[in-house]
Chain A
């Protein structure tokens, strides 16, 4: 949930700057993300979910949770591969930035929290975090990364990743329900 708040907060800051939302009059005028920064955020956000998945594959005893985690590892890996292939083709070097850094900082805390749990408590924590994290990522991709992307191919790659992340979110919610039983 912390990740959700943090991502949403940074998303909202950026969204305000791009003029999609305009409720905050005193919001700091933050800059639009450049394409190298967007590439960095995209790779970071996907890598974070792969790292969560690796913990789940190692710790969970629930086959449905393990299968879901394996899909996360595979799918987010595929997105990274395509993002890297694209930036290589475009001659763009992903550029570290405040958004990537705060994503990573939050992920460190979440991984610690996940590693401290086991059994059903772990499954619940992992799946709850997947629901929150995918919700936040979808929000950031739709409201910040896509509007800020300048290069058309980068824009299109982000657009095609949205249905994938939405499918992951629904899958995580389905697991959340089955864990309640």
Chain B
């Protein structure tokens, strides 16, 4: 594994001046590779937008430790509450406001003010 990385590194070094002539994207590619190398330490930040009486996306794939931000872009107040185990409850979220939760588990959730129609899910990615 280390060897192949080293070889790759040498190749990148050799290729770099050539690639640089054709494209400015090479340094970016290199940093992207560094990021994937330390993937476990990087947590995503996702946004669920509330608009037209819907959570969007209705199903969001997340990992534990990710941050989910709910943004109320609608015309009335809403809430974000998990169905079971009191995993989370935002209380009233006025238009224009956000509410944040750091993922500890998957959860089906709904809006307590509009319980008949506003429901969505956070699903954990398979590891």
- Expressed in whole angstroms, the Cα–Cα distance for A166 and B116 within the complex equals 10
When the two chains form their complex, are residues B117 and A171 in contact, meaning their CB atoms are under 8 A apart? yes
- Expressed in whole angstroms, the Cα–Cα distance for A80 and B64 within the complex equals 41
Interface size of B as a range: 10 to 19
Residue A167 is within 8 A (CB to CB) of chain B in the complex: yes
User: B74: which A residues are within 8 A, CB to CB?
Assistant: 164
When the two chains form their complex, are residues A167 and B75 in contact, meaning their CB atoms are under 8 A apart? no
Q: Is the interface of A mostly helix, strand, loop or mixed?
A: helix
When the two chains form their complex, are residues A174 and B116 in contact, meaning their CB atoms are under 8 A apart? yes
Residue A170 is within 8 A (CB to CB) of chain B in the complex: yes
When the two chains form their complex, are residues B77 and A167 in contact, meaning their CB atoms are under 8 A apart? no
When the two chains form their complex, are residues B52 and A163 in contact, meaning their CB atoms are under 8 A apart? yes
When the two chains form their complex, are residues B53 and A163 in contact, meaning their CB atoms are under 8 A apart? yes
Residue A63 is within 8 A (CB to CB) of chain B in the complex: no
Residue A62 is within 8 A (CB to CB) of chain B in the complex: no
- Expressed in whole angstroms, the Cα–Cα distance for A9 and B41 within the complex equals 63
- Expressed in whole angstroms, the Cα–Cα distance for A109 and B76 within the complex equals 29
Report the stretch among A71-79, A98-106, A138-146 that lies at the interface. A71-79
When the two chains form their complex, are residues A166 and B76 in contact, meaning their CB atoms are under 8 A apart? no
List CB contacts (< 8 Å) of A70-127 with chain B: 71, 74-75, 78-79, 82
When the two chains form their complex, are residues B77 and A74 in contact, meaning their CB atoms are under 8 A apart? yes
* A160 to chain B: closest residue by CB: B75
Residue A132 is within 8 A (CB to CB) of chain B in the complex: no
When the two chains form their complex, are residues A78 and B117 in contact, meaning their CB atoms are under 8 A apart? no
- Expressed in whole angstroms, the Cα–Cα distance for A171 and B110 within the complex equals 13
Residue A32 is within 8 A (CB to CB) of chain B in the complex: no
Residue B118 is within 8 A (CB to CB) of chain A in the complex: yes
When the two chains form their complex, are residues B116 and A171 in contact, meaning their CB atoms are under 8 A apart? yes
User: B95: which A residues are within 8 A, CB to CB?
Assistant: 78
- Expressed in whole angstroms, the Cα–Cα distance for A166 and B54 within the complex equals 12
When the two chains form their complex, are residues A164 and B116 in contact, meaning their CB atoms are under 8 A apart? no
User: A6: which B residues are within 8 A, CB to CB?
Assistant: none
List CB contacts (< 8 Å) of A153-176 with chain B: 160-161, 163-164, 166-168, 170-171, 173-174
Can you sample 10 A-B contacts with CB below 8 Å?
Answer: A67-B112, A75-B76, A78-B75, A82-B75, A161-B75, A164-B53, A164-B75, A170-B117, A171-B115, A173-B116
